[in-house]
Amino acid sequence: MGYYVEVERGVKLYVEDTGEGIPILMVHGWPLDHRMYEYQAALLPSYGYRCIQVDLRGFGRSDRPWQSYTYDRLADDLLAVIQSLQLRQVRLIGFSMGGAVVVRYMSRHRGFGVTQLILLGAATPRFTPSSDFPQGTPVTEVDKLIKQAYTDRPQLVTSFGELLFANPVSQSLRDWIRDQGFASSVHSMAFTLYSLRDSDLRPDLPYIRVPTWILHGKLDQVCPFPLAIETQKGIAGSRLIPFERSGHAVFYDALPEFNSTLLSILS
């Protein structure tokens, strides 16, 4: 079932809601949408989970306002969804940029309604290096992506899709991922790249006080594995599960192993 939730006046997010039972709120990465979780949403309801997949503002079928693409605003949108749907005991999942957004949610809103956090190939604690953080994608490279978003967005989406996988996948699967990127708006893609480039989530991590699992591909070319190590260090009691032969798209690149692991850690 699909419907819209108003998160602020004049802005609605699209939500795909499947199954009944324990709620799992699933947040996609850049520049994808809720469809990236198709092979999890097709499985988890059989085990008593309600899969709530949301399109962030500017992506997928959600509204695309001109401004407000900071992590704070995206986290506030998640709060509006959780409150509107009256969700409690939520298992919150975030992939890539979505991982950064859910981390900001946990700190900014003190984890309201959430009892478990799962980070997948997360763009945390920083996506770009700084003077005291050597890991990540150089700022100059992100600037190039922003420029390309305004000059050749189709090639940007296509090229990014090539970085997601460490294992062979069908051309049809690559086309499907590419089409998700095409469904986003140019300004949402660019403005969230600014957020990826400039945000530092290290101060957010100590505020996470629910059981947290970090699932990350060792062959990730987008959010290199050392980011997962640093994230794990910053979240007390968190568990890091490496996927030895997976790239960034761990939700598909290691599909059988990933789904089995996800079922085993959901509490």
| pLDDT tens column, 153-191 | 999 999 999 999 999 999 999 999 999 999 999 999 999
Q: Which domains are seen in the chain, by residue range?
A: 2-265 (3.40.50.1820)
Q: Which of 28, 188, 248, 253 is catalytic?
A: 248
Tell me which DSSP letter residue 206 carries: G
Whole-structure pTM value: 0.97
pLDDT in tens, 93-131: 999 999 999 999 999 999 999 999 999 999 999 999 999
Q: According to DSSP H, which parts of the chain are helical?
A: 38-41, 71-84, 97-108, 139-151, 153-162, 171-182, 186-198, 225-234, 250-253, 255-265
Q: Which of 33, 55, 204, 220 is catalytic?
A: 220
Q: Establish whether 96 is a catalytic residue.
A: yes
Radius of gyration of the chain (CA): 17
Q: Establish whether 170 is a catalytic residue.
A: no
Q: Which of 62, 96, 195, 199 is catalytic?
A: 96
Q: Establish whether 248 is a catalytic residue.
A: yes
